[in-house]
Structure formats: structure tokens, C-alpha cells
Structure 1
Amino acid sequence: MSKVYYTEDHEWIRVEDGKEGTVGITDFAQAQMGDVVFVELPPVGTVLTQGEQAAVVESVKAASELYAPVSGTVVAVNPDLPDAPGTVNEDPQGEGWFFRLALTQPNELADLMDQDAYEVFVAEAGESAG
């Protein structure tokens, strides 16, 4: 059974077996960005530390960084994103995934939010922005 965790920077990681996770941006993040026109993914084999810049997403509005939600080694990237960056808008938490990490510090997942906590976080952020 997989479990999804969220960061305050609006990244998600879906962990299947406690050893590997798939990473992307949330629906909230893609909606804020607008139409995604370019994605730069990390090379397979890149070693990332939690919070380190891992990828770049450019939209019609701005360029943003995607940060590693936990520490690990990139074991795969989404081969479709460079040619079809709009997939991030269409299915941000499905086919619009960015990369997969082999977790080196699975205990860092405890620093992240579950879906309920993330929904509260987004709602509160919306209220403070309004």
C-alpha cells in the first residue's frame, strides 16, 4: 500500500514500499503556476539531500524549483515530461510525476504532512493570502 506525503513547498512523494518514492508537484502548485511549458529533470544517479533543489518547472507565469522532499538517489525520471510538460497541469499527481528516489533517510518522511494536514495547510495559506 502506498502512502503520499506533502511538503510546505507543494511537492508530494508517494512511497510504495518504504524504500522508493515517486515525486511531483501538487495540484495546488500547478494551478498557481499556470500552464507548464518546460521541465528540467535531475539526471538519474543524482544524490539529493532533503530540501535541495532537484528540478525546475517553468510556466507561462514564472520559473520555480522543485525540492527533494526527502534524501535519496534519483533512480528514474519521467521520460515523457520534457516533450509534454503540460502533463504536469493535466495530471500532477499521476502521469505528471517528475522522478523516483531511492530513499536514503526514510525517517525524514516524518517531517512531511499527510493529505489531511496538507489540505489544512493549503486552506490556511489561502486565507492568509486573501
Structure 2
Amino acid sequence: MKIYYAPSHEYVMVDGNVGYVGISDYAQKALGNIVYVDMPEQGDDVTAGEEFGAVESVKAAEDLMSPVSGAVININEALIDNPRLLNEDPMHNWIIEVELTNPAELEELMDEEAYAAHCEAEQH
């Protein structure tokens, strides 16, 4: 699986025509203790660069921006009861599973190396 990152700190792990969207480790560290995740419904459409939900922590609430466009084929229901899973392992605990409708959008996203440089620049 290849991982792509958006400047807004969401990732998409791509396996064929399916993407698993979540927040990066950088994002969960910045947010702190996550207490709530607002997710779309299965069957909803998401659009690259547009809001699809939100995460709330004890210190902030942040909108989730979709890195890709597609149809939501699954949500991570474990996050409903235990949103802290995003703090424990954000790369394993994706938020939504999406069937990609425009794989060319992936070319607009960053690879791991470019994303690390983006995070480094943001800290300065």
C-alpha cells in the first residue's frame, strides 16, 4: 500500500481503487487527547479538499479534509466508542474507507518524504 499526505495532515493509504483516510501522527500529536470523531455515513460521497468530518480533542476541534474524492464504503466504527485509538496508532486506525473516483488526484498529494519536510517547515 502506498501512503499519500495532504497539507492539512490527513493521509490516504491506497490499495488498488480503495483508499483508507485518517489523520497523520503529526496531527494527533498536535491535537492531543482525542475525545470525539465526527464521520460521514457509509454511502456518502467525499470530495478532495472538502470537509468530511471533524476530530475533537481536549484542547481543539479540527475539521477533517478529504485528500481524495470517492464514495465512503466503510467507516471505522471502533472510533465511535474509542476515539483515542487515533492517538494510539493513527496510521493503523483509519477513519473512513473510500472507493476512489479520481485516482489522478493522488498526484496532487505528498509522499512521506515531502510530508516530513512540510511538517518540519510548519514547526519553524
> Which TM-score applies when normalising by structure 1?
0.94
Give 2:119's match in structure 1, choosing from 117, 122, 125.
122
Note if 1:55 corresponds to 2:50: no
Structure 1 segments of 4 or more deviating over 2 A?
Answer: none
Secondary structure, counterpart of 1:88 in structure 2: helix
Note if 1:6 corresponds to 2:8: no
Offset of residue 97 of structure 1 = 1.1
Offset of residue 62 of structure 1 = 1.0
Offset of residue 24 of structure 1 = 0.2
In the alignment of these two chains, the number of paired residues is 124
Return the letter of the residue paired with 1:14: M
Offset of residue 3 of structure 1 = 0.2
Q: Tell me how far apart the structure 2 counterparts of residues 68 and 24 of structure 1 sit (CA, whole Å).
A: 9
The corresponding residue for 1:86 is: 84
Offset of residue 109 of structure 1 = 0.2
Q: Counterparts of 1:1-130 in structure 2 under 5 Å?
A: 2-17=1-16, 19-94=17-92, 96-127=93-124
Return the letter of the residue paired with 1:98: I
Structure 2 portions without partners, runs of 5+: none
Offset of residue 56 of structure 1 = 1.0
Structure 1 portions without partners, runs of 5+: none
The superposition leaves residues 54-102 of structure 1 with CA deviations (integer Å, 9 ceiling, x where unpaired) of 11100001111111101101000001001000000000010x2100000
Offset of residue 10 of structure 1 = 0.2
